Amino acid sequence: MSHFLRRQGWVTGLFALLIVLFIVTKLIQPGYGSGDFGSLARAVLPYAFAVAAQTVVVIAGGIDLSVAAMMALTSVTAASMMAGASEEYALFVVPFVLAMGFALGALNGLLIVVTRVPDIVVTLAMLFVLQGAALLVLGAPGGGAAEWLKAMISGTVPIPGLPDAVDAWAPKALLVLIVCLCVIWIPLRRSRLGLSIYAIGSSELAAFRSGVPVKRTRILAYALSGLFAAFGGLALTMSTGIGAPIPGPYLLASVAAVVLGGVALGGGKGGLLGPIVAVFVLRLVRTDLTLLAIDPNVTAIIEGLIMVAVVMFGAFITMRGRQ
């Protein structure tokens, strides 16, 4: 048990923080119930995918500044394709958009490997390119989404054999999130590719000398990031019913949650669970501040302060640990 705690100390702490926050929320707003939890899960969905996209790349020792732009592009592509189309057509749109995200992510990785330009600069340039592409696809917010896609994240999952009161706490959005992430992440973590991603993030030279195909791994890491970002873009379209070409605040949020989730920015350390829990923590803090009727602008300040304080604290802990 103590071994587990030491290894998963950061994530355990985050979980504890999340529970404390839920209790605080309940104290502030005694009426906080399953419905509110459902809307929290829906709000978290795009953020969580953005964070997953960032996490994969950061573990591989890089950074992806184009996450939010990628989400905007995939979202408008999906929305403009589904506008006025039949429900069945969406069955084709979803895999197409996911494949597009994967391919564009792979392009990110390929450019980094081929041009040898630092990843920050390549993804920065790609940010402009993807943003521009999104504007070309859809000049203004618009488009549509298939009904079954919208229905996929609203409401709750009926679990047979459980009373409705418990059932209400299992929103579909949460289930979609868990399923999508698990289907990709768990096999990846156990595969050779997953190990290689951790290896190149930890030490590229050591990984290269132990026979890890560094270039291929890097490209695949970015491709996976693109895939997660495409999920995020789809989630945006699913929850709003339209696509918007201007990227949301997902870049900053993804980096913040990655760091808060205990993934070292140097690469090679951390998992996906921490950042996802961190997203919930950050969103719940925002909910609480709104419930307290605090000015939304002050909320932005408080969020920033929390982020900076947590990051400083985390860096301080690592420093103490090293000495």
Partner 1 sequence: MSTSAITPAPIPLGRRVKRFMADRPLIPLIILLVILVVILQILRPGIVNERWIANTIKFAIPLAILAGCQTMTMLTGGIDLSVGTVATMSAFIMATQIVNQDPAVAFLLAMMPAVLIGLVNGIGVGVFRVHPLIMTLGTSLIGTGCLQVYQRTVIASGAKIPDFLAWLGTGVTPILGFAFPNALLLFVPLAALIVFTLARTGFGRLLYAVGDNERATRLSGVQYWQVITALYVTSSLLAGITGLLYIGLIKAPSLSLAEPLVLPSVAAAVIGGTSIFGGRGGYTGTIIGALILTVLTTLLTILQMPEGARRILFGLIVLFVTAAYLRIVEER
Residues at the site binding partner 1, with contacts judged by CB under 8 A: 63, 111, 115-118, 120-122, 124-129, 131-137, 139, 245, 252, 255-256, 259, 265, 295, 297-305, 307-308, 311-312, 315-316, 318-319
| Residue with Cβ nearer partner 1 (113 or 195) | 113
Question: Closest distance between partner 1 and the C-beta of residue 53, in Å?
Answer: 17
220 residue type, one letter: L
Nearest to 41, CA basis, from 141, 145, 152:
152
Least distance between partner 1 and beta carbon 74 (Å) = 15
Q: Toward partner 1, which CB reaches closer, 46 or 267?
A: 267
Q: Least distance in Å: CB of 233 to partner 1?
A: 17
In angstroms, what is the minimal distance from the CB of 314 to partner 1?
8
Shorter beta-carbon distance to partner 1: residue 103 or 125: 125
Whichever of 146 and 259 has its CB closer to partner 1, that residue is 259
Q: How far is the CB of 245 from partner 1 (least distance, A)?
A: 8
What is the nearest approach in angstroms of partner 1 to the Cβ of residue 224? 21
Q: Which is nearer to partner 1, 72 or 230 (CB)?
A: 72
| Smallest distance, partner 1 to C-beta of residue 109, A | 14
Which CB sits closer to partner 1, 114 or 186? 114
Nearer to partner 1, 57 or 259 (CB): 259
